[in-house]
Structure 1
Amino acid sequence: MGCGTSKVLPEPPKNVHLDLVKKVEPSSGYKTDVCKLFIKGDGDGIKSAIPSPPCYTSPHVEQSEPRKNRVAKYRAKFDPRVTAKYDIKALIGRGSFSRVVRVEHKATKQPYAIKLIETKYHEGREVCESELCVLRRVRHTNIIQLIEVFETQERVYMVMELATGGELFDRIIAKGSFTERDATRVLQMVLDGVKYLHTLGITHRDLKPENLLYYHPGMDSKIMITDFGLASARKKGDDCLMKTTCGTPEYIAPEILVRKPYTNSVDMWALGVISYILLSGTMPFEDENRTRLYRQILKGKYSYSGEPWPSVSNLAKDFIDRLLTVDPSDRMTALQALKHPWVVSMAASSSMKNLHRSISQNLLKRASSRCQSTKSAQSTRSSRSTKSNKSRRVRERELRELNLRYQQQYNG
């Protein structure tokens, strides 16, 4: 979906608001709570500030130095126990204090991904513990699997399945044909995984297209849910309510924005946003101004105007409407969504029109727009910096007023 989507990380300090974000640099030894870190979110293309790059995507190797030198550089960082079992093949991604490499099991020749996390940094240790807590509990065909873990005093090596089929929307653009039936097949796999997570008391909290990957390039590939860096796992008997402010702005549920305790229904809101994009290639809520974006979300304000919506069935729109419901108690659960007539019938009674052209055009248009915004932001960053303090104060005041207004409405 373009050049990348910013992410709001857990729990901002009380005197900082949702739209005031900062770039996180690798720790220099001082103690910082990872739950108070943010990333830049003004369309600058920075995707993640936590050590959680997509460790399951098809290889994406940087070109700044010869490949052999890169591989040798990262192989040297691996514990001998790891290199005795796996051949290090290529660097896939990097975070503030993590690296992800594609590896091959020496005995079976099976490819995997290994996420190397520097746990000597407090932030890395916090995120690592959180992600491991979730991944060690899950085993489902539509959820990325943790294979094994190697731990040292300063590093953790998480061996995981490698999804080589690419992101959901990249596949749609390349496919050439996409109907409502195709959409329901995708959503059924995702809903199966989400229902399983919710049954275990796990809330993903960052569901979005970038975290839905195909396992392999074949036409019959399954979809896998990835990236559990923001997931919350509740043990049996624990309070099911969460309070941490986190997620990706365009996918954040209204109840999170008004700082109210929330449940796993926030995942269902995100699935409503994904469903909307899946059928149109456009976002239901989108604005470069973070305050206006949040206002749209809090009002649940979206429309079915423009292509290809006239060709989309009313049953599909009803499915989306039952997920993009501001009141979380009225929102469908994963089980209810799986039983919705549109999904159950696999859209058999719905429009079988090929929506591919409109969806692809909209996706590519948005990607181009986001990339141009990124370049523009980078070229004007120096001139804009002198005005940043003033604009920040304005945004603070606007969001304070917005939050106060909607909290009053929410409580009223």
Structure 2
Amino acid sequence: MGCGNSKVLPGASNKGYVSVVQSLVAFSKVDDDNEPKKRMEKQRHPWFSTSINNFQTASNGQQQTLSDGRHQDKVPTYKDKFDPRVTARYDIKALIGRGSFSRVVRVEHRATRQPFAIKMMEVEAPEGREVCTSELVVLQRVSHSNVIQLIEVFQFPQRVYMVLELATGGELLDRVVSRGHFTERDATQALRMVLAGVEYLHNLGITHRDLKPENLLYYHPGADSRLLVTDFGLATFGGAGSEVLGPDRSSDGGADRTWSLRTTCGTPEYMAPEVLQRKPYSCAVDMWALGVITYIVLSGSMPFEDDSRMVLYRAIVRGKYSFYGDPWPSVSNLAKDFIQRLLPLDPATRLTASQAIRHPWVVTMAASSSMRNLHRSISQNLRQRTSQSSSRCPSSTASSGDSSSVGPGRLTSLEKKQQQQQVRASGLTQPQRAIHHPA
């Protein structure tokens, strides 16, 4: 990990786009909990430097400030870009996020005055079209309390406007730090919501492929807020994409092992070894990412981390991590067992989302050690990482236009060179053609 982190995105494809972007199409989803959220490619996060996909929400009337200190006071500029048929229904309030191909604004529905987020995506470029298509195809199919909800969409040849729930409760790690007191019980309460959302996605055949703390947002600031899985720019629907190789059921017949994928994508520190080795993979890559997330939530540090991508990838493909240092002596063996069962190198032996929800640590909420306060150690570790990242990358911003996940279609020439060096130095295999053998 270092100053030049990037998000690997799948290569652009025109397949299915005609069915996604036509002349104006608007539809609404009925939802009992019909107040919104903000989700999109975000600015660089202070805790984990791989994420320049993070964006911040602001309360009404507050001015937006990106991580590089620039104030977001140019709402009229972006308001002018919005199609009149969109602004006729929604009042544009504030710019709350930006990405390589998108802008996110906080809006109010003119009739109901309910707050929402609108993600405006530029779809003329193949890369923007691919990201939009992937995200929209998934969001149109999902409806779950722990998954960000698409309210309606306006589609035009040059731009697509997604109206989304507005999550105002902050990111998972922000909530951990702000609590002042954090235990394993608190961790399992959060993870149960994430697992519920991931289980739902996997049962639909959807692989998220970019699970990380920055993409887990609380719906509102209250202690009883639900936690939402967001950012579906890299998600794929099993059997719907050109990269899907076909059925590849595991021995337990689980629905979340049905489809084998092959595109190298995700955020480096959270990518499963089979992705880095360019092997066909399944929804099990999301479970690996959840193992990394659990490790971070309980300790404030990362299981796999290095300024050198080569060293980082080597550690991941070897599965080299430890439970060393604070607060691990205070963490229960059940919690460590949960992490270990999510981080085996063999994806077939990883817990599925359904199995993870039934793990004793999650079920019992670590009753034997749930009252141990881990907050001090977690916060210290996070602050230490922030300080180290700042000293290494004093001017890190999203101005380069990178995003924090990786994909062959969008690597810069430098990143491609680094990836080739990575493969040679780490002993990773070259891309290989997967052959499906019917069960």
TM-score normalized by the length of structure 1: 0.81
- Provide the residue aligned with 2:268 in structure 1: 249
- Provide the residue aligned with 1:266 in structure 2: 285
Deviation at 1:365, TM superposition (A): 1.3
Q: Which moved more, 1:223-232 or 1:342-351?
A: 342-351
2:301 counterpart (282, 288, 297): 282
Distance 1:84 1:274, change over 3 A: same
Deviation at 1:377, TM superposition (A): 7.6
1:80 counterpart (75, 78, 84): 84
Residue by residue, what CA displacement relative to the aligned partner does 1:220-254 show, whole Å, maximum 9, x if unpaired?
Answer: 11110100000011148953100000001110001
Q: Is the 8 A contact 1:56 1:113 kept in 2?
A: no
Moved over 3 A (4+): 1-6, 43-48, 53-60, 62-66, 235-239, 389-398, 403-408
Residue by residue, what CA displacement relative to the aligned partner does 1:188-243 show, whole Å, maximum 9, x if unpaired?
Answer: 00000000000000000000000001111111111101000000111489531000
Question: Per the alignment, in what secondary structure is the counterpart of residue 92 of structure 1?
Answer: strand
- Provide the residue aligned with 2:172 in structure 1: 168
Question: Per the alignment, in what secondary structure is the counterpart of residue 375 of structure 1?
Answer: coil
Distance 1:149 1:249, change over 3 A: same
Distance in structure 2 (CA, Å) of the matches to 1:220 and 1:2? 36
Say whether residues 1:61 and 2:64 are aligned partners.
yes
Amino acid at match of 1:228: F
Distance in structure 2 (CA, Å) of the matches to 1:65 and 1:314? 46
- Provide the residue aligned with 1:214 in structure 2: 218
Amino acid at match of 1:87: D
Distance in structure 2 (CA, Å) of the matches to 1:392 and 1:115? 30
Distance in structure 2 (CA, Å) of the matches to 1:277 and 1:261? 27
**Which structure 2 residues correspond to residues 125-204 of structure 1 after superposition, within 5 A?**
125-204=129-208
Distance 1:2 1:340, change over 3 A: farther
Deviation at 1:10, TM superposition (A): 2.6
Distance in structure 1 (CA, Å) of the matches to 2:419 and 2:48? 18
The gaps in structure 1 that reach 5 residues or longer are: 13-39, 379-388
- Provide the residue aligned with 2:252 in structure 1: none
Distance in structure 1 (CA, Å) of the matches to 2:124 and 2:115? 28
- Provide the residue aligned with 2:348 in structure 1: 329
- Provide the residue aligned with 1:16 in structure 2: none
Say whether residues 1:8 and 2:27 are aligned partners.
no
Q: What CA RMSD, in Å, does the superposition of the two structures yield over aligned residues?
A: 3.2
Deviation at 1:85, TM superposition (A): 1.1
Distance 1:5 1:359, change over 3 A: farther
1:119 counterpart (106, 119, 123): 123
Distance 1:124 1:191, change over 3 A: same
Q: Is the 8 A contact 1:58 1:165 kept in 2?
A: no
Distance in structure 1 (CA, Å) of the matches to 2:415 and 2:212? 29
Amino acid at match of 1:61: Q
Deviation at 1:393, TM superposition (A): 6.4
Q: Which moved more, 1:396-405 or 1:319-328?
A: 396-405
Distance in structure 2 (CA, Å) of the matches to 1:300 and 1:129? 34
Q: Is the 8 A contact 2:313 2:422 kept in 1?
A: no
Distance in structure 2 (CA, Å) of the matches to 1:58 and 1:5? 26
Say whether residues 1:230 and 2:234 are aligned partners.
yes
Q: Is the 8 A contact 1:323 1:332 kept in 2?
A: yes
Distance in structure 1 (CA, Å) of the matches to 2:198 and 2:204? 10
2:426 counterpart (379, 402, 408): 402
Distance in structure 2 (CA, Å) of the matches to 1:160 and 1:266? 26
Question: Per the alignment, in what secondary structure is the counterpart of residue 161 of structure 2?
Answer: strand
1:338 counterpart (333, 357, 360): 357
Say whether residues 1:291 and 2:291 are aligned partners.
no
Q: Is the 8 A contact 1:254 1:297 kept in 2?
A: yes
Distance in structure 1 (CA, Å) of the matches to 2:352 and 2:339? 13
Q: Is the 8 A contact 2:2 2:393 kept in 1?
A: no
- Provide the residue aligned with 2:40 in structure 1: none
Distance in structure 2 (CA, Å) of the matches to 1:400 and 1:199? 37
Distance in structure 2 (CA, Å) of the matches to 1:185 and 1:201? 25
Residue by residue, what CA displacement relative to the aligned partner does 1:109-129 show, whole Å, maximum 9, x if unpaired?
Answer: 111110111112222112111
Distance in structure 1 (CA, Å) of the matches to 2:417 and 2:71? 42
Residue by residue, what CA displacement relative to the aligned partner does 1:47-69 show, whole Å, maximum 9, x if unpaired?
Answer: 45xxxx557844672475683xx
Distance 1:228 1:57, change over 3 A: farther
User: Across the two proteins, how many residue pairs are aligned to each other?
Assistant: 365
The gaps in structure 2 that reach 5 residues or longer are: 13-43, 248-258, 398-412, 433-439
Distance 1:391 1:327, change over 3 A: closer
Question: Per the alignment, in what secondary structure is the counterpart of residue 132 of structure 2?
Answer: helix
Question: Per the alignment, in what secondary structure is the counterpart of residue 181 of structure 2?
Answer: coil
TM-score normalized by the length of structure 2: 0.76
Deviation at 1:351, TM superposition (A): 4.2
Deviation at 1:375, TM superposition (A): 1.3
Distance 1:354 1:99, change over 3 A: same
Amino acid at match of 1:311: S
Amino acid at match of 1:96: S
Amino acid at match of 1:364: R
Amino acid at match of 2:183: T
The one of the two structures with greater contact order (alpha-carbon pairs below 8 A, sep at least 6) is 2
Amino acid at match of 1:276: Y
Amino acid at match of 2:293: I
Question: Per the alignment, in what secondary structure is the counterpart of residue 132 of structure 1?
Answer: helix
Q: Is the 8 A contact 1:144 1:226 kept in 2?
A: yes
Say whether residues 1:103 and 2:85 are aligned partners.
no
Amino acid at match of 2:305: E
Distance in structure 1 (CA, Å) of the matches to 2:284 and 2:388? 31
Identity of aligned residues (%): 62
